[in-house]
Amino acid sequence: MCGIVGVTGNLKARDILMEGLHRLEYRGYDSAGVAMMDSSGTVRRARAAGKVANLGAELTDEIIGQTGIAHTRWATHGAATRENAHPHTAGRVTLVHNGIIENYKNLRVDLAAQGRDFSSETDTEVLAHLLDSAIASTGDPRTALLATLGKLEGAFAFAAIIEGEPDLLLGACRGAPLVAATGPSSGFLASDIMAITGAAQTVIYLHEGDAVIVRPNQVEVFDTAGQRVERPAAPAPTSLVLAEKGNYRHFMQKEIYEQPEVVGHTLSGYLDPVAGEVRPREGIDFSAASRLLIVGCGTASYAGQIAEYWFEALAGLPVEVDIASEFRYRKPAFMPNDVALFISQSGETADTLEAMRMCKAAGLTTIVLVNSPLSTMAREADIVAPTMAGPEIGVASTKAFTCQLGSLAALAVLAGVQRGRIDAAEQASHVTRLMGIPGLMAQALRIEDQINHLAGELAQASIVLYLGRNEFFPMAMEGALKLKEISYIHAEGYAAGELKHGPIALIEDDVAVIVIAPYDELFTKTRSSIQEVRARGARVIAITDDLGAAALDGEASAIITLPRAEGLAAPLVAAVAVQLLAYYVAVHKGTDVDQPRNLAKSVTVE
């Protein structure tokens, strides 16, 4: 995960920036940089590929001042090189940025037509040029900032300094976190309050879509309409332990909200948006595979079941998904050229690890999709396919799950290319849709208040059924698992087409049925399932998009409307709704959300 630190009006600015970068190292990154403005308003910067320690070696005595910005980068657009490292400078603007600017290609073409030159492959440099162009046109940083935001698509957070403005930081966030803070005669911006804990005295957690202007001991916030707004200021945490959760009530809530950012980082490791291609991964070749075995436990297994639909549809590759604890003991029969993919957040899950060892001993190529690159599974597998979810504290997996889905979606496209089922144009289309997922997830998070209201009623239910078709069938099972894990309500997920084969016997007055029903080619069939359970007295909550909401008007008791997402993106967007629903039901019931009873984060015994 990328990290942003910014400070103005502080004699120890350089020390604060470097300490902030060190505190953000745990999130993962591949380059780092810092830019500082001296008392004359001149900006100087240092950048380095690799670790923050490498950056320290690049710092000179000329890089000093009371105002500056710093960044740890996980490569998205462009390789992990010094040239692509942040901060990026364009004219008077120097800028650091987290996230993805989805429309950067079109913006770059327009800026190039204005005579602007680019020295990197990044979308960040495009943003710097765009802001500099707006400042040159308006002469006013506030006006330029708001005008720039109106042209951006995607999920992002950024901080900028402007040459000649020695006491000014500009920032904004949409689908990625950013906090503003003040201290004695100082102002701060950071993607994580941990970066400035100890230096800041008060903190403002910016809202979705906010723009911010920070001066020493002064913060001005503007909403999506460009109007000045007051956001509540709170005492800044005094220890890193207190800072870790930020302003969220639970780690699970924080981790749900981190998803646009971490899914974007994960996808960036698999996709080359400049070339419109999935990056080849050393050792991964599905072209001659006879079958793909996917093995995992719990949520990881459901991620694999969703991916089964993708690999078979896009690549024509037969897939078999197994629960690790069963796979180990059923004496599975292997075929020549089988490839085995194991999914684990921790890389230490006992059943999954032993299943992997069994396949490795049988001579199969083993791939592990894992969030912990130093784990046992990562060390023992033939190939490691990483996710970039960062540490996940809540026992109920959220961001690890969606990062797994993002990785699996990219690998399914890669398999389609390698097996000759996807041509260059189709690959580019898939990459564009995948890169748009973080922005869609950020939009989906805006339904939180509606879901909180629905959860108050759902918390009274004794049984909840989830229904879905195609890849939304395993998503229904994942939704039911989340609800069971943290609210202790009995919940089950079913394929909507199986309703008449038994589950419909459970339907009676006021039984809650949650139906995942995007407006796709199977919508009409899913709609018939809604009508069947509604006719028998069920209270139906439909999770759909705008077209589905219009079609279901009057047919569901409540409708949760998500942004319209097509193809591979749709399950990740739906995941936001099922996670928020489970979370708020548990909050209303008063359960221990982050550490539910009888459960452990990593199951390292049978």
- Could you identify the residue written with the tokens 């949409």? 174
Copy the structure tokens of residue 134.
């707006």
Least confident of 71-80, 96-105, 257-266, 289-298: 71-80
Copy the structure tokens of residue 234.
């709170």
What pLDDT does residue 57 have?
86
pLDDT interval class at 1 (50, 70, 90)? low
What pLDDT does residue 387 have?
94
CATH 3.40.50.10490 fits 248-435, yes or no: yes
Distances (CA, A) of 355 to 138, 327, 400: 62, 7, 21
Distance in angstroms (rounded) separating the CA atoms of residues 480 and 8: 48
- Could you identify the residue written with the tokens 């399932």? 529
Give all strands (DSSP E) within 470-516, no chain letters: 490-495, 512-516
Q: What is residue 518's three-state secondary structure?
A: coil
Distance in angstroms (rounded) separating the CA atoms of residues 535 and 103: 46
CATH 3.60.20.10 fits 3-245, yes or no: yes
- pLDDT by residue (tens digit) across 248-292? 899 999 999 999 989 998 999 999 988 899 999 899 999 999 999
205 contacts 247 by C-beta, under 8 angstroms: yes
Where in the chain are the domains? 3-245, 248-435, 440-606
Q: Residue 87, preceding bond cis, omega within 30 degrees?
A: yes
Amino acid of residue 236: A
Q: Of 464, 473, 520, nearest to 494 (Cα)?
A: 473
Copy the structure tokens of residue 159.
């901080």
Distances (CA, A) of 197 to 109, 155, 188, 246: 40, 25, 11, 11
- pLDDT by residue (tens digit) across 366-376? 999 999 887 88
Q: Residue 548, class by beta-carbon neighbours within 10 Å (0-12 exposed, 13-18 middle, 19+ buried)?
A: buried
169 contacts 213 by C-beta, under 8 angstroms: yes
Residue among 2, 173, 359, 403 flagged as catalytic: 2
CA dihedral 154, 160, 164, 168 (to 10 degrees): 120
Residue among 51, 105, 589, 601 flagged as catalytic: 601
Domains 3-245 and 248-435 are alike in CATH topology: no
User: How does 411-440 read in b/e, with b if 16+ C-beta sit within 10 Å?
Assistant: bbbbbbbbbeebeeeebeebbebbbbbbbb
Q: What is residue 48's three-state secondary structure?
A: strand
Distance in angstroms (rounded) separating the CA atoms of residues 21 and 4: 8
CB-based contacts of 53: which residues, under 8 Å, 6+ apart? none
Least confident of 193-207, 412-426, 489-503: 489-503
Distance in angstroms (rounded) separating the CA atoms of residues 236 and 251: 18
- Above pLDDT 70, what percent of the chain? 98
DSSP secondary structure letter of residue 197: B
- Above pLDDT 90, what percent of the chain? 70
**Topology classification of domain 440-606:** Rossmann fold (3.40.50)
Amino acid of residue 11: L
CA dihedral 101, 106, 108, 111 (to 10 degrees): -120
Distance in angstroms (rounded) separating the CA atoms of residues 183 and 9: 9
| Residue 213 falls in which region: left (phi positive, over 0), alpha (psi -120 to 50) or beta | beta
pLDDT interval class at 26 (50, 70, 90)? low
What mean pLDDT value characterizes the chain?
Answer: 91
Residue 395: pLDDT over 90: no
DSSP secondary structure letter of residue 27: G
173 is annotated as an active-site residue: no
Give all strands (DSSP E) within 175-329, no chain letters: 179-183, 186-190, 202-205, 211-215, 218-222, 228-229, 233-235, 271-272, 277-278, 291-296, 319-323
- pLDDT by residue (tens digit) across 382-394? 999 999 998 888 8
CB-based contacts of 46: which residues, under 8 Å, 6+ apart? 33, 34, 35, 55, 58, 59, 60, 63
Strands 218-222 and 228-229, bridge-based pairing: antiparallel
The pTM (predicted TM-score) of the whole model is: 0.82
Phi, psi of 202 (to 5 degrees): -125, 150
CA-atom Rg of the chain in angstroms: 24
Phi, psi of 471 (to 5 degrees): -70, -10
CB-based contacts of 498: which residues, under 8 Å, 6+ apart? none
* Cα dihedral sign, 115-117-121-125: negative
User: How does 160-176 read in b/e, with b if 16+ C-beta sit within 10 Å?
Assistant: bbbbebbbbbbbbbbbb
What pLDDT does residue 605 have?
46
- pLDDT by residue (tens digit) across 502-554? 878 788 887 889 999 999 999 999 998 888 888 787 889 999 999 999 999 98
- Could you identify the residue written with the tokens 């509604």? 534
Strand order in the sheet with 186-190: 43-49, 31-37, 67-73, 3-8, 186-190, 179-183, 202-205, 233-235
Q: What is residue 25's three-state secondary structure?
A: helix
Distance in angstroms (rounded) separating the CA atoms of residues 31 and 329: 45
2 is annotated as an active-site residue: yes
CB-based contacts of 164: which residues, under 8 Å, 6+ apart? 41, 92
Distance in angstroms (rounded) separating the CA atoms of residues 241 and 243: 5
181 contacts 191 by C-beta, under 8 angstroms: no
- Number of helices (H) and strands (E) in the chain: give both, helices first: 20, 27
Phi, psi of 473 (to 5 degrees): -70, -55
